[in-house]
Chain A
Amino acid sequence: MSLSMDDVRRIARLARIAVTENEVIESHKQLNQLFSLIEEMRSIDTTGVEPMPHPQDMLLRLRDDVATATNRREAFQAIAPAVENGLYLVPKVIE
């Protein structure tokens, strides 16, 4: 299979990355090269093989449901692009 230019525009939108038409053309070429490599994988018979989402098949360890972290809001917000009254500022989306 190969990706169309529209596929590239769609996944860029899904990924929240603005792309120019030149970038769409370049990405289209390179992603199709990569996907022709990935296609080889699809011909492998994996019937009955358990997927392996994690090395060593370990289960994610859970901690007790208690608050342990100290409040460091000021330190974290000191590096934010824009804050006001302890809140992160983002563009208005509802008029």
Chain B
Amino acid sequence: MLTIKQIIDQLASGETTAVALATQYLDRIAAHQHLNAFITVDREKSLAQAAAADAARAAGDTRPLLGVPFAHKDIFCAEGWKTSCGSKMLDNFIAPYSSNVVERCDAAGLVTLGRTNMDEFAMGSSNENSFYGAVKNPWDLTAVPGGSSGGSAAAVAARLVPMATGTDTGGSIRQPAAFCGITGIKPTYGTVSRFGMIAYASSLDQGGAMAQTAEDCAILLNVMAGFDERDSTSLQQASEDYTRDLNQSLAGLKIGLPREYFADGLADDVRAAIDAAVAEFKKLGAIIVDVSLPNTKMAIPAYYVIAPAEASTNLSRFDGVRYGHRAADYNGLNDMYEKTRAEGFGDEVKRRILTGAYVLSHGYYDAYYLQAQKIRRMIANDFQAAFKECDVLFSPVSPSTAWNLGEKTADPVAMYLEDIYTLGVNLAGLPAMSVPVGFGSNGRPVGMQIIGNYAGESRMLGMAHQYQQVTDWHTKAPQL
């Protein structure tokens, strides 16, 4: 199947049309429904959008991405589309407005093929927490695709769409990208507007891009990123061209390997794939340095205090009054709230709300929430100390390849521990991406994480692109 770069060229030359492309991909989506990668597909709406793109191009419109198909994670509000966030709570929610990301993609002329499946309210590391059922990993239907952007990752990996949006609060772009063998980038916090992106943990959530290649991620990020006055955390910075460093040499670039990320607990096959990738980067002229992130182990407890605390606050809006699910039988207002929320939320969401309510409750704030925010500072400082010695950091995305469906559902804490290499990045607000670097002994993909300093996306994408010019892991597709 085609990359975005190839699709752009074919549309520009008239070799294909937006309608032809949309039809081809929609047929493929329909033929692979068993992956459960999509929550909503509206063939008529997508084909109408594609026809409008073809008409605009025929009338002289030269927007480069006009007519290119893609998909949105079901967390981005899109006017007129069901926007469920993977939850029963929003199963009946037709968004009355569009998120900034959707507006930007529409303005670029992209054609939406559907809304991808996800862990409910973006809470999860396996995509087994969706009200619409688990997504299956296209490389192995008995494996999880990773979460929470697992639907987007599976859709791109299975070539149901050439690219998709995702969001990342604790690794939810990078981990499913790694598990599904695609490329995914979470930019610096504040780069992509959170306006209209259903909030989980506001100081950690960040939208980003998922595609086959780093070049395609750069192209999509160019569309998604930019200042938005409606998001008070949006960075006020000039527009960037994230493709600008794609062809830059890597000679002399310093790559830090944080020793704590290669310690006990890392599977041998993951380590071997990353070692091989690091060797390729050395051949490309990069210099490897040893660095330390001493507070790495504290990222998990700090995250699992801060994220649930923010989630318990953000999800208080789902009370059955103005929109969403409302319980049928209740006795008074409080009973309506309690039954609505008990029926509307799944187990993982309830667990995190309860955790958040507890750590913020009277008498525990200093011991948990304040302490976690101090540790967050220490973790961010560790990264800044490391960036004095190197330009980027390389690490595993996850200690192992994708696990089996159902393997960790009974033990949520065991699943949380799998996020050890991704959480620190979100706590610090840094950009990071996952690049496919091989396969584990079970045939499931391995991803390598590239972590950059603030606003370092362009350089990271350039490094990944150079690696993808000399390797072919990103071209491998599952047999379906």
Contacts and interface: CB of A to CB of B under 8 A. Distances in A.
A79 B96 contact: yes
Interface size of A as a range: 35 or more
Contacts of B31: none
Task: Kindly state the interface size class of chain B when it binds its partner.
Answer: 35 or more
20 contacts: A8-B354, A17-B345, A17-B353, A31-B355, A33-B412, A41-B368, A42-B368, A44-B295, A46-B378, A49-B374, A49-B377, A50-B374, A51-B376, A52-B373, A52-B377, A72-B96, A72-B97, A79-B323, A81-B326, A91-B333
Contacts of B336: 90-91
Contacts of A19: 342
A47 to B, nearest CB: 9
A18 B428 CA distance: 35
B363 to A, nearest CB: 11
Contact of B312 (A3, A15, A30, A58): A15
Given A46-B374, A88-B321, A54 B203 contact: yes
B330 interface: yes
Contacts of A53: 203, 373
A30 B320 CA distance: 27
B302 interface: yes
B290 interface: no
A55 to B, nearest CB: 2
Contacts of B302: 41
Given A31-B354, A31-B355, A49-B374, A16 B337 contact: yes
B428 A55 contact: yes
Contact of B375 (A46, A56, A91): A46
Interface in A1-47: 3, 7-8, 11-19, 27, 30-31, 33-34, 37-42, 44, 46
A90 B298 contact: no
B377 A42 contact: no
B247 interface: no
Of A13, A50, A90, most buried by chain B (CB within 10 Å of CB) is A90
A52 B376 CA distance: 6
Nearest to A72: B96
Contacts of B181: none
A94 to B, nearest CB: 10
A93 B333 CA distance: 6
Contacts of A46: 371, 374-375, 378
A80 interface: yes
A62 B232 CA distance: 7
